[in-house]
Amino acid sequence: MASRDEILRELRLAPQWRLRARPADPAPEAPPPPAEAPAGARVVPLRPAGDAAQRLARIASLDWPELAADVEACTACGLCRTRKRAVPGVGDPRARWLFVGEAPGAEEDARGEPFVGQAGRLLDNMLAALGLSRREGVYIANVLKCRPPGNRAPEPAEAEACRPYLERQVALVQPALIVALGKSAATLLLGSEATIASLRGRVHRYRGIPLVVTYHPAYLLRNLTDKAKAWEDLLFARRTLVQAQRDAPPAG
Ligand code: URA
């Protein structure tokens, strides 16, 4: 059996890179207690009204060029005031693999492409170890399309404002498998505040699409021991994708 060092060398993940930015996977905070409705009150689920509903319908009908233009012009949250460039996504528009990260950092903000900094180099190495690349068979997107100042974690309201773009990307790509990289992606896509440790190693579903959870590459830059676990997760993801394709009805 290969030693951990051998696995990491194989992945080209050793020697260890150092992360300059803030932690991407902070310890989970306890969710706020649910607000209680007054006795006897009927709880009506909130539905977007007026402009919000129109925005959702509009985004849900965009094609790729329109989606990129819409993201670049978006003012739905305050991040539009501090971004240099919006970062819609990158990759093969008909990819089988969709990787979802958290949010652009400084280099992504400057270049308009996701995962082009240190964490991105690690992600590219992990893709290469699977025989994949961001140009073919893979699409890479983030929960947020604009950089949060100082690389802070996304605010829930920002993630919600950006959610329709990710949903449209999923609908356009129609991936066979989604890999959620880290807590922000897992929380948004699964609606769960559970830890990565408790979510990995299982097949979840997002709108019927198999979804696998693993650590965020920026977290892995600081946690050498979890790189081997992330590699296990990617091998699990590949097996899940093969199985999903075996189970899929033949294209007619
Ligand atoms: N981290 C992310 O989650 N996304 C990027 O695009 C870059 C770093």
Q: Considering the chain, what is the average pLDDT of its residues?
A: 87
More confident residue, 39 or 72: 72
31 band by pLDDT with thresholds 50, 70 and 90: very low
**Is pLDDT above 70 for 4?**
no
Least confident of 8-12, 111-115, 241-245: 8-12
Q: Which of 115, 126, 158 to mutate to test the pocket of ligand 1 (most atoms within 8 A of CB)?
A: 115
pLDDT at residue 24, rounded to an integer = 43
Q: Are 215 and 26 in contact (CB under 8 A)?
A: no
Give 209-233 pLDDT, tens digit per residue: 999 999 999 999 999 899 999 999 9
Give the Cα separation of 4 and 184 in Å (integer).
27
Task: Return the CATH superfamily for domain 51-247.
Answer: Uracil-DNA glycosylase-like domain (3.40.470.10)
Give 104-159 pLDDT, tens digit per residue: 999 999 999 999 999 999 999 999 999 999 999 999 999 999 999 999 999 999 99
Give 45-92 pLDDT, tens digit per residue: 466 778 899 999 999 999 999 999 999 999 999 999 999 999 999 999
Task: Check if 119 has its Cβ closer than 6 Å to any atom of ligand 1.
Answer: yes
**Is pLDDT above 60 for 39?**
no
Q: From atom 7 of ligand 1, which residue's Cα is the shortest distance away?
A: 115
Backbone region of residue 29 per phi and psi (left: phi > 0; alpha: psi in -120 to 50; beta: other values): beta
Task: Check if 99 has its Cβ closer than 6 Å to any atom of ligand 1.
Answer: no
Whole-angstrom CA distances from 121 to 49, 85, 178, 208, 220 are: 42, 20, 20, 30, 12
More confident residue, 147 or 34: 147
The average pLDDT across 174-200 equals 98
**Is pLDDT above 70 for 9?**
no
pLDDT at residue 248, rounded to an integer = 84
Task: Check if 218 has its Cβ closer than 6 Å to any atom of ligand 1.
Answer: yes
Residue ranges covered by each domain of the chain: 51-247
Residue whose token pair is 């233009």: 69
